[in-house]
Amino acid sequence: MGLRRRHVKFNESITDALKREVHEEYGTQPKKFEFLGFDEVFREQNTKLTHWITFRYKVLLDREKAVINESDKFESLLWTTLEKLPSPLHSQLPHVLEKYKNQL
């Protein structure tokens, strides 16, 4: 489960942005995806206050087709279960797992 911060281009739907970002990052299209909900994230980055609105999706990929297309951002791909997630976790991931645990 990734927590990538990406953007929606002008005149692009959220689902088209999701498909584009998955292809850019993993070299494949989602087999299927499901909207989970949205979150607002307020935090400070480099002394600047930020407000992110994040649309959360559960995305299924074909693991035989997924590759690292952005090697400057990813070291490796790991297929695991929620019970065996590596450490450290992204700072937002514990909140996401708790909020959407019944949908994962």
Euclidean distance between CA atoms 99 and 37, whole angstroms: 9
Q: Which domains does the chain have, with CATH numbers?
A: 14-103 (3.90.79.10)
* Residues 6 or more apart whose Cβ sits within 8 Å of residue 22: 28, 29, 30, 59, 61
pTM of the model: 0.82
Q: Which one-letter DSSP state was computed for residue 46?
A: T
- Write the pLDDT tens digit of every residue in 9-60: 999 999 999 999 999 999 999 999 999 999 998 989 899 999 989 999 999 9
